[in-house]
Structure 1
Amino acid sequence: MADRWRVGGGLNGGYQLSMIGNAIRAALPDHPDPVAVSAYYISPAVAGPATVVVRPQRVGGRTATVAAELQQDSDVRLSVLATYGDLDAFPSDVRTTAEPVDLPPRDQCVPNTLAPDEIKEMAPFTQRFEMLFHPDEVGWAVGKPSGRGQISAWFRLADEREPDPLSLLMAVDALPPVTFDLGMMGWAPTVELTAHVRAKPAPGWLRLRHRTRNIAGGFFEEDCEVWDSADRLVAQSRQLALLPR
C-alpha cells in the first residue's frame, strides 16, 4: 500500500475500500460489480505490504455476498461485508426524486491544486484526484467556512481514467471531511462506511456532494451522492466518523 494515499495518521479509507473491492471482484468473475459494501475501519492502515482475505458467504444467480478483510501483518485494518452483482444485467428503469448536484461550470470552480500547504501535507492522497470545488463551499480553506455542512465538487482521477464501479468506492471518500465547512479542521478517521453503487457511471467527470446534519458524542455522519455526466445518481454512501483531531 502506497504512502501517497496517506491522510492524517493512516491511508485514505476510499483507497482501502477500492483495494479490497478489487480483490472481491477477482474472486467473483460472474459478479464483477460492487452493489452494497459495508466497511468497518478497525485500525489505521499504513504504507507497506497488505493481504486481502476473501470469504464467499453465498453465491447466487443475481448477486453474491462475501466477507473480506484487509490485513497487515497480524492486524486487521478493514473488515467488509459486501454484495456484488453484474450491473449490466440489472433493470435499467429509474425513478427518483433526488436532485443532481448543482455545480457551476468547471472553469468557475476552485481546483484542489490551490489547497493550503497544510492541507496538502496532511492529505497528500488528494493529489491523486482532480477536484474542482463549488466556490461558495471552500471558505474553510481561508478560515471562512460557510457553516452549512456541505462540500461539493467536480471529480475525476488525476490520470484521467474514466470512472468505473470500483472507482466509485474511492470517490465516496475523496472530498475533505465535511466538518471543514463547519470550521472543524483536521483528520476525521472513519469508523464505518456503507456504500451503494446504483449504476455504472458514464464516461466523464463525476459530481460529488457531501453533507452532514448531526454532530453528537464526538462523531458526525457524512452522506455522499455521486452523479455522473449523464445526470444519473450512480453511488450513495453514509459514513460515521470521529470529529477531527
Structure 2
Amino acid sequence: MSFSVASAVRPLGDGTYTASLPAEWTVGPKPHGGFLLALVARAAVDSARAAVPGADDLAPLAVSSQFLRAPEVGPALVRTHVRKAGRTATVVTSTLEQRGRSCVEASVTVGRLPTAPPDYADLPEMPAAPPADAIDLASMGAGGVYKLGAVCDVRLDQKGAGFLNGRVGDPLVLRLWARPLGERPDPYFALVAGDITMPVTFNLGRFGWSPTVQLTALLRADPAPGWLRVRVSCSAVHGQWFDEDAVVIDSTGRLVCQARQLALTPAT
C-alpha cells in the first residue's frame, strides 16, 4: 500500500476524519510514530483549507505531538479544531482517537512552505544517495518487526552503526536514506523520515521498544524527487530518557524537515 493511500483521511464534515492504520506501516505490532504524525497533519491541513478559502497550497509547517498511548492496527478517528485562521499561519489541534481514547494529540501550524532558496543553512554533509554497502532495513525485519521496510526504501550507513556488529560505545549518531516506494516524497513523508530510524541507543546496546513520548517536527520545504538523507543524533541519555534529533535533507541538498523527540529506552 502506497504512503499517500495509507495515510489518507476521509472527512465526515464536522472537523472529524476517519482513517485506517494499516499493518504495513508498523514497527512490531504498533503503527509507526512518524506515520501517525503524517496522518494527524493531513487532517489538520484539510481542516485549515476549509477555514481559509482559496488556500489549496497549504501544508504543515510545524507539528508538536504528544503520544499518549500506542494505537492498534485498524480504524481510527481524527478530530480537528481550528484554533486560529490566518493568512500566514493557521493553528489546528488534531487528535487521533481509537475506541474512544485519545492516542496522539498534536498542535499543527499550517501555512505555505518556502520555495525560494534559503538565505542560510548549516547542514550535515551526506552524499545524495546511500553508499553501495548501506544496509537495506527491509533485510532487518526478521520476524516481521520492521514491516515499514516493505513499503519504504530505507538504507542505513554501516559506518558508525556499531550495534550491527555487536559493538558498544559508538557515538549516538546514525545516517540513513529513505524514500517511499512508487511515488515521490512529499512533506508528509518527510515527517515519516524524521522518525524512521531505529533508536540511536542501539549503539549503547539498549535494544527493545523505545516509545516516543513527545515529538516536534518543523517542515522547511517540499522535498524534491529522490532520496531523503537523514542524520539522527542524541545529546544525552539520562536513565531511561533520551533525546533524538533528526535532520532530513532532500536530493538537492535542501533542508526539508527537522525533528526532535523525547523517548524512553529500555531499562538496563
Give the structure-1-normalised TM-score. 0.90
Matched with 2:219 is 197
Query: Distance in 2 between the 1:187 and 1:200 partners?
Result: 31
Counterparts of 1:17-96 in structure 2 under 5 Å? Answer: 17-29=37-49, 30=55, 32-88=58-114, 92-96=117-121
Which amino acid counterpart does residue 91 of structure 2 have in structure 1? T
Query: Distance in 2 between the 1:65 and 1:8 partners?
Result: 33
Matched with 1:111 is 136
Query: Distance in 1 between the 2:150 and 2:266 partners?
Result: 21
Q: Structure 2 unaligned runs (5+)?
A: 1-20, 50-54
**Deviation >4 Å, runs of 4+:** 102-105
Query: Distance in 1 between the 2:79 and 2:91 partners?
Result: 14
Q: 2:122 aligns with which of 88, 97, 108?
A: 97
Give the structure-2-normalised TM-score. 0.83
Higher helix share: 1
Structure 1 residues 205 and 160, CA, compared in 2 at 3 Å: closer, same or farther?
A: farther
Q: Structure 1 unaligned runs (5+)?
A: none
Contact 2:156 2:176 in 1 (8 A): yes
Q: Secondary structure at the match of 1:3?
A: coil
CA displacement at 1:206 relative to structure 2:
0.7
Contact 1:3 1:47 in 2 (8 A): yes
Query: Distance in 2 between the 1:22 and 1:131 partners?
Result: 23
Matched with 1:169 is 191
Which amino acid counterpart does residue 225 of structure 2 have in structure 1? P
Determine what percentage of the aligned residue pairs are the same residue.
31
RMSD: 2.0
Contact 1:25 1:32 in 2 (8 A): yes
Matched pairs, number = 241
Query: Distance in 2 between the 1:166 and 1:189 partners?
Result: 21
Matched with 1:224 is 246
Q: Secondary structure at the match of 1:231?
A: coil
**1:186 matched to 2:213:** no
Contact 1:225 1:235 in 2 (8 A): yes
